[in-house]
Homo-oligomer: A and B are copies of this chain.
Amino acid sequence: MANKRVLLVDDEPLIVKGLRFSLEQDGYDVESAADGEEAINAFFGGQFDLVLLDVMLPKLSGIEVCQRIRERSTVPIIMLTAKGEDMDKILGLEYGADDYMTKPFNVLEVKARIKTVLRRSGASGAAEEKRVIRVRDMEVNLVNRSVTLAGKEVKLTAKEFDLLQLFITNRGKVYSRENMLETVWKYDYLGDMRTVDVHIRRLREKIERNTAQPEFIFTKWGVGYYFTDKD
């Protein structure tokens, strides 16, 4: 099946970069536009399954773009709004947006919303993904956000679960710390890289029987971390 095509409209290069990277990782085809006019041209010049649309745009505001698109299309639209921006009418869907997200967000959130919106619009297409992932005696329920190890529930914090989800849904893939910060943290996070180490450690303490000899999350020296289901 062809990849889903996403039109990403934002004038902040940082956001475009981060989202493009992660969405392409997930098998979306991403086209981007940096202002309202570009967005309109791109949209009507192509075929898209979803539009991610910043509200505050040069030339033509996201709301206007949204309305213009809605005049001729029912494509799912997710609006991106800066915190504190006046969101009247967006949420109420008067302009036809299907969902919105407040900046700053993290990429995992965006991906989750995209899936929800696509599923709701019926255009999901993608085979229904696994809700429960098992690796040996670990079970991760992505709906519940719960984890059991040998049948016993393990309590993870939000970040720990996000990390585990990233790893377990991309087994074998090595993630650098930058990578993880880009995906699991909000995109405006500018803190220390060691933060990742510490979260990995805490996660390991909860899911590994022996943190010195992990069974799930491995260290790739000089690169980052990865998850494996091989013994």
| Residues in chain A within 8 A of chain B (CB atoms) | 83-84, 86-89, 91-93, 99-100, 102, 116, 132, 134, 139, 141, 143-144, 146, 148, 150-153
Contacts and interface: CB of A to CB of B under 8 A. Distances in A.
A152 B91 contact: no
A143 B112 CA distance: 12
Contact of A92 (B86, B100, B132): B132
A132 B92 CA distance: 7
A152 B86 contact: yes
Most buried by B among A100, A116, A150, A153: A153
Contacts of A116: 143
Contact of A83 (B89, B151, B153): B153
A143 B84 CA distance: 20
A146 B100 CA distance: 10
Given A102-B153, A144-B99, A153-B102, A134 B92 contact: yes
Contact of A88 (B92, B146, B151): B151
B99 A151 contact: no
A151 B146 CA distance: 34
22 contacts: A83-B153, A84-B152, A86-B151, A86-B152, A87-B148, A87-B151, A87-B153, A88-B148, A88-B150, A88-B151, A89-B151, A91-B132, A91-B139, A91-B141, A92-B132, A92-B134, A92-B139, A93-B132, A99-B143, A99-B144, A102-B146, A116-B143
Contacts of A88: 148, 150-151
A154 to B, nearest CB: 11
A102 to B, nearest CB: 6
